[in-house]
Structure 1
């Protein structure tokens, strides 16, 4: 069994559990953690996560944020300036990107975020580095999902400390981890 098959199996067991309705947004976040070099394998098997969700009689919506920064900067009126002088991409401009990112994901879900029996899955968070912190994105997006927010996270976890792409300091987050190598139930 491959690591991705084991990850699908762990997710399938987890999504089938009864869901508590009175959790805070941060407690409704599930982090599906996998090695960054498995990104393409995971994407090839994303339908298996959708099938596992449907089997548990839950709805599935997925938002891919891989191209979000490129799309945002392509629409930005100052894009030529940023291309010529990337150092002019200020913290204020990046905060605009962060807000736009949450709005983009919310609108791509077509109301699915309002389903308390729904899974809102997010792919491509590795592409957000170094433009925004994934922790900030999750914090902003979590209240938007009435059911469960599932973040496919290419990195590692040590306790409740998550490290994106094994490339930066981690952050402590209260999300529920789902991994291929340990039983999180």
Structure 2
């Protein structure tokens, strides 16, 4: 069984247990932590996670941040200036892009169909790396999570600290981490 298949199986078992309705927004986040080298394999098998949710009588909805930065920058009125002087992006544009990316996730979470029985799968977290902090995006959407937000997280975690793409200092987060280690599955 591949690591992605193992992750999907542990995820299925985890969502089958249920959860208390009194959980905070941060506690309603499930991080599917995987090796960044497994990104293509994970994307190919995304359907396994939808099937896992549905097998436990949960609705599933996906949202993708993969093209968010390109879409935001391409539509920006100052895009030519940013292309000419990319360092200008660090001068306040990061905050605007964080709002834009959070807005994409919020639209999924604020749909009338988003109920306490729905899981929203967020793919493309690696795409915001270097532009904004994933933790800032999550902090802006936590209040709107009625069911669960399932973040596909290419990186690693240890003791509640998450490192996106293993490349920068991690941040503390109260999410449930689901990951596969070489010695087996850890939840």
User: Which TM-score applies when normalising by structure 2?
Assistant: 0.93
Q: Distance in 1 between matches of 2:3 and 2:144?
A: 30
Structure 1 runs, 4 residues or longer, greater than 6 Å off: none
Matched, 1:183 2:186: yes
Matches within 5 A, 1:21-170: 21-108=21-108, 111=111, 114-170=114-170
The superposition leaves residues 8-43 of structure 1 with CA deviations (integer Å, 9 ceiling, x where unpaired) of 111010111122111110110110000000000000
Q: Distance in 2 between matches of 1:108 and 1:57?
A: 19
SS of equivalent to 1:146: coil
Contact 2:102 2:138 in 1 (8 A): no
Cα distance change on mapping 1:135 and 1:56 into 2, 3 Å: same
Q: Distance in 2 between matches of 1:146 and 1:84?
A: 42
Report deviation, 1:112.
5.8
Q: Distance in 2 between matches of 1:107 and 1:24?
A: 19
Count of matched residue positions in the alignment of Structure 1 and Structure 2: 184
Report deviation, 1:180.
2.0
Q: Distance in 2 between matches of 1:141 and 1:42?
A: 24
Contact 1:29 1:176 in 2 (8 A): yes
Cα distance change on mapping 1:60 and 1:112 into 2, 3 Å: farther
Q: Distance in 1 between matches of 2:173 and 2:108?
A: 25
Cα distance change on mapping 1:119 and 1:91 into 2, 3 Å: farther
